[in-house]
Structure 1
Amino acid sequence: MVTTGRRVGRPRAEQRPDSGLSAPEELLRAAAELFTTHGYAATTTRAVAERAGLRQATMYHYFGGKEDLLAALLESTVRPSLELARELLADQERSAEARLWELCRSDVELLCGGPHNLGGLYLLPEVRVDRFDGFHRVRAELKEAYGALLAATGAGAALASDEAALRTDLVFGLIEGVILVHRSDPERPVAAFAAATADAALRIVGAAGAAGGAGGPA
């Protein structure tokens, strides 16, 4: 038998243009599209694999099932914001108001700026189960960062702890609430939407100079 010495990889279900993505990335992209357009419950693992141009067995090589795909997508909507929040907490050169405004703006752009409304997946009842504890832990850490930045503002420092906690809940709820607003008008320019939401968040805090405009508060 003649061999070429070429290693044969896991075969694709169909030939698709090479996107440059790895197999897990292809699967997550396919899952994002199908979960947000066809619905999570109506999407099968076979459909995800086929949309990615891979065999179902290949999908199970990387992910245990739909829940694993959903968990990875959910965490992908939070981790970049958490990384930014950590950087902003460490930044002592800008005012806390400016840093909070920037976190709000960036978070809204992340939730609404992609090709698929992944933030809408937060509303799925399936997300409440223990399998998604990792997502909820990361989300809770992000909320704590919001609270820390809020408390560092001039207005936040004057609040009693229970009032500061309430305003953190309101700001965080506003940011995640953009999911529904964006769904009602997906053609709205995301950059302007994000800046306006950040302005509104600082008004909730009671911070001076909340109308940040393009550059945010000084």
Structure 2
Amino acid sequence: MSSGAGRVGRPRTRAGDGSGRSARQEILDAAAALFGESGYAATSTRAIADRVGIRQASLYYHFAGKDEILLELLEASVRPTLDVVDALRSAAPDPAAALHALVVVDVATLLAGPLGIAALYVAPEVQQPRFEEFREHRRQLLAVYCDLARELLPAGHPVSAEVAGHACLHLVEMVATLPPTPGLAEQVALTCLGALGLHGERAAAAARGGDRARSGLAGSLR
């Protein structure tokens, strides 16, 4: 992450938006919006600074450049989930409950940030070496989904654990395209369970176990 987190920016060209967000968070939000509107390559640090209402030089008090901004946005979309994976799996009574808890937490992580960030995962720039840290963390998260799918799929199932794990992760990452309905995270979790053949009472039991696992770790979750 940025080494400039503690820096103090220069005066703004206009007042803040009154939301109580820090200048650093305003920069992240503005950058995410512009990356979604114009694409990463076409967005300049000057455009980001103008959107926030600060001088371009002030932006560099918080971030070394556009790459660092994007890396922080990408990391914020995976690291909060990855940081609690082991605890969730330990707290869950079985793999089905662990999958339910993981999906609910992962959806919450994505919804807590700018909704268009997942769309940037496949951007050509994100495939460059400077974003390898993020790609490795996403691979680690994907591996958890695949491991859980492997534990849940019966022997001889025609779908491989790798395909099932990828499918669950992609279901999570598409939440930005879905209407913001109540209980969305739980619905996505049940969809993932259903994709692995867990329906009815089996899915309901997994949801109960997942909820208990998450409630036991409430202090560690968003």
- 2:169 is the counterpart of 1:172: yes
State whether structure 2 residue 175 is matched by structure 1 residue 197: no
Distance 2:82 2:149 in 1: 15
CA deviations on 1:50-100 (whole Å, 9 max, x unpaired) are 2222221121232222221111111111111212322212215x3221120
1:216 pairs with 2:197? no
Check the 8 A contact 1:97/1:217 in 2, yes or no: no
* Aligned CA distance change for structure 1 residues 80 and 54 (closer, same or farther; 3 Å): same
Compare 71-80 and 97-106 and name the one that shifted more: 97-106
Matches within 5 A, 1:54-73: 54-73=54-73
Secondary structure of the 1:216 match is: helix
Q: Cα distance 1:112–1:159, how it changes in 2: closer, same or farther (>3 A)?
A: farther
Aligned-residue offset at 1:211: 7.2
CA RMSD of aligned residues (A): 3.0
Map residues 53-202 of structure 1 onto 2, 5 A cutoff: 53-92=53-92, 94-112=93-111, 114=113, 116-152=115-151, 155-156=152-153, 158=155, 163-176=160-173, 178=174, 182-183=176-177, 186=178, 188-202=179-193
**CA 147–18 in structure 1, closer or farther in 2 if over 3 Å, else same:** same
Q: Which has the larger radius of gyration?
A: 1
Residues 37 and 210 of structure 1, relative CA distance in 2, 3 Å threshold? farther
Q: 3-state SS of the aligned residue for 1:75?
A: helix
Deviations 1:151-204, CA, capped at 9 Å, x for gaps: 44xx347469x933332233223333x15xx43xx5x23444433322221223
CA offset digits 1:126-148 (Å, max 9, x no partner): 21111110110110111122233
> What is the rounded CA distance, in whole Å, between the counterparts of 1:192 and 1:97 in structure 2?
19
**Amino acid in the other structure paired with 2:162:** A
What is the letter of the counterpart of residue 172 of structure 2? I
Q: Is 1:98–1:217's contact at 8 Å kept on the other side of the alignment? A: yes
Question: Whole-Å Cα distance in 2 between the matches of residues 166 and 35 of structure 1?
Answer: 30
CA contact (8 A) 1:199 1:211 kept: no
Q: Matches of 2:91 and 2:168 in 1, distance apart? A: 21
Equivalent residue, structure 2, for 1:23: 23
Q: Which runs of 5+ in 1 are unaligned?
A: 1-7
Q: After the TM superposition, which residues 6-17 of structure 1 pair with which residues of structure 2 at under 5 Å, given as runs?
A: 10-17=10-17
- CA shift digits 1:4-63 (9 cap, x unpaired): xxxx96221222245433332221121122222343233210111122222211212322
TM-score normalized by structure 1?
Answer: 0.76
Q: 1: distance between equivalents of 2:119 and 2:105?
A: 17
Task: Give structure 2 stretches of 5+ with no counterpart.
Answer: 1-7, 210-222
Q: Identity of paired residues, percent?
A: 37
Q: How many residues align?
A: 201
